[in-house]
Amino acid sequence: MTRDSRGPFAATCPTRHLLDQIADKWSMLALIAIDSAPRRFNALKREIEGISQKVLTQTLRRLERNGLISRSVAPTVPVSVTYAITPLGHSLAVMMETMRTWSIANIDSILAAQSCYDHSRSEAQSLK
Amino acid sequence: MTRDSRGPFAATCPTRHLLDQIADKWSMLALIAIDSAPRRFNALKREIEGISQKVLTQTLRRLERNGLISRSVAPTVPVSVTYAITPLGHSLAVMMETMRTWSIANIDSILAAQSCYDHSRSEAQSLK
DNA sequence: CCGAATCCGGTGGGATACTG
DNA sequence: CAGTATCCCACCGGATTCGG
């Protein structure tokens, strides 16, 4: 965990560092959502189906800490908080969008591979 | 959790489905590693610093199930198992490589944002 | 060498209630 | 509205052992 001269998989390389921070589905989804337009907290919570408010808060904090989104508070009553993408975050979101496109184009191949795999496994199971 | 017509963040859309499967750092690292060249199990374990053999096995199984890598067993003694990338997996790995390039180019910005964020937080802490 | 199986501690994350 | 605080439990993943 100390030597980092052996390539892109050493524990201390930039790739690992980035992956540690944003390689989870909630971060990516939140980034995509905010990239399309600035959003309020509850709007995001409603839009990202299945996320809890606790996890959303944690996710937004981490994205903000990494300089990928910005958080601005309007001193109204009650307070309204808006999250917006930063230039850095947008350049990352572009790649997320590419992945989104890819997933739509290749979902059928993946589903087919899954059912094929599961099918061959259940066969092996039955003749045990 | 049932209606998927409201856009890319509904629980059942392809993006979510893909993210559920591969949006973790180990999957991405393993995919990049295998994409560069076919590998044996222990070679991967040695290369991907910090992963346990249990988690590596789980990760490889999931990638295989999704048709992103292939697993071939050579009937030698002892058995030698080789993992290789599939065309589908390669097309995904290309994007992972793009992210890797991005992370190297932008790691300084991220690190700067982090220390800036942490610094302002510790200030707020001290005058509480 | 490649993996399956078991045990087990830590923690991620859900549910709920409360605050400014 | 936008969180924070607390409880609590499932499951993730590490260590170890065993098998082909």
- Mean pLDDT across the stretch A31-60? 95
Per-residue pLDDT of chain B (128 residues; tens, 9 = 90+): 444 445 677 878 888 888 888 888 899 999 999 999 999 999 999 999 889 999 999 999 999 999 999 999 998 888 999 999 999 999 999 999 999 999 999 999 999 999 999 988 876 655 44
CB contact under 8 A, B33 and A91: no
Residue B4 pLDDT = 46
- Mean pLDDT across the stretch A109-126? 83
Cis before A78? omega within 30: yes
Query: Minimal CA–CA distance to B99: which of A17, A86, A64, A1?
Result: A17
CA of B31 to C1' of D12 (A): 21
Q: How far is CA A17 from CA A22, B43, B86, B93, B103, in A?
A: 9, 22, 27, 18, 8
A111, pLDDT greater than 50:
yes
How far apart are alpha carbons B84 and B59 in whole angstroms?
14
Domain presence at residue A25: yes
Domain presence at residue B17: yes
Q: What is the CATH number of the domain that holds B52?
A: 1.10.10.10
Residue B125 pLDDT = 58
Domain presence at residue A75: yes
A48 part of contact set with chain B, CB < 8 Å: yes
A25, pLDDT greater than 90:
no
Residue A116 is encoded by which pair of tokens? Answer: 């094929």
Pairing mode of beta strands A69-74, A80-85:
antiparallel
Confidence at A10, pLDDT banded by 50, 70, 90: confident
The shortest CB-CB distance from A23 to any of B8, B21, B25 is to B25
A17, pLDDT greater than 90:
no
At A74-88, the pLDDT tens digits run 999 889 999 999 999
Residue A70 pLDDT = 97
Q: How many structural domains comprise chain B?
A: 1
B90 part of contact set with chain A, CB < 8 Å: no
Residue A3 pLDDT = 44
Parent domain of A19:
7-127
Domain presence at residue A29: yes
Residue A11 pLDDT = 75
A32, pLDDT greater than 50:
yes
A107, pLDDT greater than 60:
yes
Residue A7 pLDDT = 66
Domain presence at residue A108: yes
Domain presence at residue A2: no
Confidence at A124, pLDDT banded by 50, 70, 90: low
Domain presence at residue B88: yes
Which residue out of A17, A19, A55 would a mutagenesis test of the B interface target, given it has the greatest number of B Cβ atoms within 10 Å?
A19
- DSSP designation for B11: T
A87 part of contact set with chain B, CB < 8 Å: no
DSSP per residue, B61-125: HHHHHTTSEEEEEE--SS-EEEEEE-HHHHHHHHHHHHHHHHHHHHHHHHHHHHHHHHHHHHHHH
Domain presence at residue A1: no
